[in-house]
Amino acid sequence: MSEFSPSRPARLRRSVLSVPAINRRALDKLSSLDCDAVIFDLEDSVSPEKKAEARENLRAFFAETPLPGKERIIRINALSSNFGADDLALVVELEPDAVLLPKVDEPQDVTGVSDRLAEADAPESLRIWAMIETPRGILNAAAIAEAGRTAGSRLDCFVVGLNDLRKETGVPPQPGRSYLVPWLMQVVLAVSAYGLEAIDSVFNDFKDTEAFDAECGQGRLMGFSGKMLIHPNQIEAANRHFGLDEAAIAEARAIISAFAEPDAATLNVVNLGGRMVERLHLVQAERLVHKARLIEQRSGAAAALAPASD
């Protein structure tokens, strides 16, 4: 039986737009944007004196504005801060798709929040994302990802935060990120080993479209599922670079068809056009086809909403 399950479906995470929860104007524009996911930020982009107002903004927004087809994630302040407990209580109240934990350094940072969510009777559908943005977070990436496989864990995704990592290590921002590549690949390797996903870091200069385009291409080749964004102008390039290749979709459908044959019911390997394909590739194929279907549905909905031409 395939490990792919609708209860934990593949999600589109090509473009993950971060929006300050204090910015009502930016919040009001979200329903018209073609991003796959939205991070409602209560942490870095909200000053201490505005934290309570930002929480009220989110409470009103969630009550008034559905975002069909978009994954909703709330980034909270550290639970060790003066704001983390109130942020997490809001998460339990609003039941977004996920809560994003800042500066995750070790597995206990994830399992502790999992326990708190369970104690609050939060639904299993409320998942955990982890910001990996410190030297300790990079060093412990595999152990943190492994915690996502333990019973009761809600961990689904890593988000790399290079701004803080550069600050703590002294590595300057440079085109190509050559000195950061080993750390980025360490994160990708960790999530790949334990069935999670990783989102590439933000690109700070949203006006430099050429450099952003190049960094998206690099992130895709590294194995990231998508990119964290700071501006709507970055959505199109992220969706394009982290989208699905038509040839890969066709191959995935062929793999699914091959294993659906009656003679393949008990086989772990099938012959696909002279190439041996293992059953483990079936899970990957099903997830890819599911994502392709989501993109088709998104495109169809956008076409239906577009004004008719004269």
Tell me the pLDDT tens digit for each residue of 97-136: 999 999 999 999 999 999 999 999 999 999 999 999 999 9
Dump the DSSP string for the chain.
Answer: --S--TTS-----SEEEEEETT-HHHHHTGGG---SEEEEE-STTS-GGGHHHHHHHHHHHHHH---TT-EEEEEPPPTTSSSHHHHHHHHHHH--SEEEESS--SHHHHHHHHHHHHHTT--TT-EEEEEE-SHHHHHTHHHHHHHTTSTT--EEEEEE-HHHHHHHH-PPP-TT-TTTHHHHHHHHHHHHHTT-EEEEPP-S-TT-HHHHHHHHHHHHHHT-SEEEESSGGGHHHHHHHTS--HHHHHHHHHHHHHHHSGGGTT-SEEEETTEEEETHHHHHHHHHHHHHHHHHHHHHHHHHHSPPP-
What percent of the chain has a predicted confidence (pLDDT) above 70? Answer: 93
What pLDDT does residue 55 have? Answer: 98
What pLDDT does residue 11 have? Answer: 85
Q: Return d(Cα 113, Cα 98) in angstroms, integer.
A: 12
Tell me the pLDDT tens digit for each residue of 78-100: 999 999 999 999 999 999 999 99
Name the nearest CA neighbour of 74 among 46, 99, 47. 99
What pLDDT does residue 4 have? Answer: 39
Please give the C-alpha separations between residue 303 and each of 124, 171, 249, in angstroms, as whole numbers.
33, 44, 22
Tell me the pLDDT tens digit for each residue of 145-171: 999 888 888 999 999 999 999 999 999
Q: Return d(Cα 103, Cα 275) in angstroms, integer.
A: 44
What pLDDT does residue 1 have? Answer: 34
pLDDT confidence band for 199 (50 / 70 / 90): very high
Residue 214, pLDDT > 50, answer: yes
What pLDDT does residue 73 have? Answer: 98
Q: Return d(Cα 307, Cα 214) in angstroms, integer.
A: 33
What pLDDT does residue 121 have? Answer: 97
Average pLDDT over residues 19-43: 97
Tell me the pLDDT tens digit for each residue of 267-298: 888 888 888 888 888 888 888 888 888 888 77
Contact 102, 78 (CB under 8 A): yes
Q: Return d(Cα 270, Cα 91) in angstroms, integer.
A: 45
Tell me the pLDDT tens digit for each residue of 216-267: 999 999 999 999 999 999 999 999 999 888 888 888 898 998 898 888 888 8
Which tokens sit at 9?
A: 């479906």
Q: Return d(Cα 42, Cα 61) in angstroms, integer.
A: 14
Tell me the pLDDT tens digit for each residue of 3-25: 434 335 678 999 999 999 999 99
What pLDDT does residue 191 have? Answer: 96
Residues in the chain: 310
Give just the sign of the alpha carbon dihedral 8, 292, 12, 257.
positive
**HEC assignment per residue over 167-191:** HHHCCCCCCCCCCCHHHHHHHHHHH
Residue 301, pLDDT > 60, answer: no
